[in-house]
Structures are given as C-alpha cells and as structure tokens.
C-alpha cells in the first residue's frame, strides 16, 4: 500500500523542477552565468597584467640591489688590496 502512494509523490517531486524552471528561467540563468564568466575573465586579465607589472618591478629592484651589492663587494676587495 505504501509503495502505491510513494511512487506518485516521488514522481511529482522529481518532475517539479521541469515545470518550475521554464525555458525563460533557464535562458535567464544561462545569460547570467555567461555574464559572470565574461566578467571573471576580464578581471583575471586586468589583475593578471597588474600582477605581472608588480613582478617585473620586484625583479628590477632585486637586480638593482644585486648590482649595488656586487659593486660594494668589489670596492671592498679593491680597498683591502691597497
């Protein structure tokens, strides 16, 4: 007896989204998802460029400090010989 009553209830529950999510709602969600993805890609591109510029600046600073350190070391070596 329970099996007979259970099947129609479960069928109604499982088919409910098909009636609730109409094609218009599906299209709206699809457009929203598409817009979100496009925005995420733009932001990734923008922040990616910003990160690359920051990394380049850090590399330049590292190289400058490395060069200063090398020059200071060579200067100290020359002064020790004198």
Find where tokens 């969600």 sit.
Answer: 29
Q: Tell me the HSE value of 45 on the side-chain side, using a 13 A CA sphere.
A: 6
Find where tokens 């350190």 sit.
Answer: 69
Q: Which distant-in-sequence residues (6+ apart) come within 8 Å of 20 by Cβ?
A: none
pLDDT tens, residue by residue, 5-63: 555 556 556 665 656 667 888 899 999 999 999 999 999 998 998 999 999 999 999 99
| pTM attached to this predicted model | 0.45
* Domain residue spans of the chain: 24-81
CA 60 to chain CA centroid, Å, is 26
């Amino acid at each position: 007896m329970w099996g007979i009553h259970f099947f129609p209830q479960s069928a109604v529950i499982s088919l409910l989204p098909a009636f609730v999510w109409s094609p218009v709602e599906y299209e709206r969600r699809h457009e929203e998802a598409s817009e979100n993805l496009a925005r995420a890609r733009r932001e990734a591109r923008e922040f990616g460029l910003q990160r690359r510029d920051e990394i380049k600046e850090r590399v330049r600073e590292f190289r400058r400090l490395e060069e200063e350190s090398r020059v200071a070391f060579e200067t100290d070596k020359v002064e020790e010989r004198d």
